[in-house]
Structure 1
């Protein structure tokens, strides 16, 4: 019987692609006095390219942007600080996020989250989505001292929730860091479909978050 559901954050609960698009558009407008020498679409497109869907930290992204666009009236450190301060105001949830979490709570499931990233930054995003209160455990890689797909991170979460691996499902968008890593420690791995990958081997696939309670229920029958 499934007793606990654990989630990834970026690309699973948070629509990171939409959030980044919204943030970088707003950053350009907010700092137009110093960024206006660059065409807006060019700035947005290059940021998204360098960001590589979050797998490149923004210090490197902004250093590259300052160099490529020959920015002299703002530093990469100032751009990074703006990102750290303002990104949380651009967080876009996937549809039905709250409805899904409410249903899982009604089904009496224990909820946890494991996310790679910087602690305070990720917690700011979680609070911006107004979902912190649904989770009994939230592990962020920086604070945990390890990152997915390290199996110990999953085992620590399971231990904190006081359940066994076979009593848990993990839902994430990354085939290796989320799905396979969870399966490796004995959990069910549910893949939140992402256009970047095809033919992902998982215990179940979801497109809409509202499918998750139904799938979890089927595992318990």
Structure 2
């Protein structure tokens, strides 16, 4: 199984290594070797094709805000630049998120788990409706859809959870076969269970290079 690959761009090598350690500790993510300049970042993005770049503003050759539009990868800013102009500029230029230093492992994990949900929601087949798009955008803020406390599980939800409990890491098609529903129905229930935190989503890359979503129960 292959995780989301994350490139950290920060000129402070010690800080970059700490952030890489944070990333490695999050299931579903893997940190590439950090780089410390804009030039090396461009080379790494071209050669390694990371899923996500964590980008600092203060780089020795080109500021991260100027580099941002040139990066052909999803990007989240990790920086001490906290002025409103920098934040607005980064979001206007396409940054998916903005995390202000200093921060701890838990804060970065919240951001990356939100990114993982965002990628999953935008990776489902077919077009999104407005509600689905709004949920995907909210996921980038680390928020989940609220679930009603004590809400009873439907029989299909229960069957999906039981399939994952007995089968481990399964695809939507495998869950559908076990439960006896269509793949589209299985995906709908799996998405809802992931949103309320009952299950986790992992990515597995096949021979074509396209990631397959697989599902497992949360610990």
Q: Could you state the TM-score of these two structures normalised by the residue count of structure 2?
A: 0.33
Pick 1 or 2: higher relative contact order, CA cutoff 8 A, min separation 6: 1
From the two aligned structures, give the one with the greater helix fraction. Answer: 1
From the two aligned structures, give the one with the greater strand fraction. Answer: 2
Q: Could you state the TM-score of these two structures normalised by the residue count of structure 1?
A: 0.32
